[in-house]
Amino acid sequence: MAKVSVVGAAGTVGAAAGYSLALRDVVDELVFVDIPDKKDEVIGQAADTNHGVAYDSNTTVIQGDYADTAGSDVVVITAGIPRSPGQTRIDLAEDNAPIMADIGSSLAAHNEEFISITTSNPVDLLIVICMKPGIERDILSLVLVDVLILLGFDMC
């Protein structure tokens, strides 16, 4: 099995992704990371996840920092500022770019190679910023919203 880190674990998407992974018992270790201001929430998410899957999973879930992500096989990045009503994708990218740049450099400092699954929006712009600091692999960036827009759904 593998080690997976979830960056943005205090948020709804990050917490749900982490819980789903733990429930499926497909990873050995799950590391929940978020900004220092969210440490208490992440501790709670890790504890809740451990308690929720205690009898059904062998996954160890911890609250950690970027140093604890070292050796991750997969990093799920769900961090970022949500889109405000009326906000353009470019405005959202400008808000989230510094966050993604910090995540990328923090991950690169502790990991040589990993698979990145990114849900932060606008993902097509942000993944380039996140991967600049020397991270070599990004094989999946979730762009469901972009696909739905392309198909004609009104996502605003």
Checking if the pLDDT of 51 tops 80, the result is: yes
What pLDDT band is residue 82 in, cutting at 50, 70 and 90?
confident
Q: Answer yes or no: is 56 within a domain.
A: yes
What pLDDT band is residue 28 in, cutting at 50, 70 and 90?
very high
Q: Answer yes or no: is 156 within a domain.
A: no
pLDDT in tens, 97-149: 999 889 988 998 898 888 888 888 777 677 777 766 555 554 445 555 556 65
What pLDDT band is residue 83 in, cutting at 50, 70 and 90?
confident
Report the half-sphere exposure of 40 (CA within 13 A, side-chain side): 1
Number of domains in the chain: 1
Alpha helices in the chain (DSSP H): 12-24, 39-52, 89-108, 123-131, 144-150
Domain of residue 7: give its range. 2-150
Which of 30-39, 74-83, 125-134 is the least confident region?
A: 125-134
Q: What is the CATH number of the domain that holds 119?
A: 3.40.50.720
What pLDDT band is residue 154 in, cutting at 50, 70 and 90?
low
d(CA 38, CA 55): 28
pLDDT of residue 129: 72
Q: Answer yes or no: is 59 within a domain.
A: yes
Q: Answer yes or no: is 155 within a domain.
A: no
Burial class (CB in 10 A: 0-12, 13-18, 19+), 45: buried
Q: Answer yes or no: is 130 within a domain.
A: yes
The single-letter DSSP state of residue 135 is -
Q: Answer yes or no: is 60 within a domain.
A: yes
Q: Answer yes or no: is 90 within a domain.
A: yes
Please check whether residue 128 is in contact with residue 97, taking contact to mean a CB–CB distance below 8 angstroms.
no
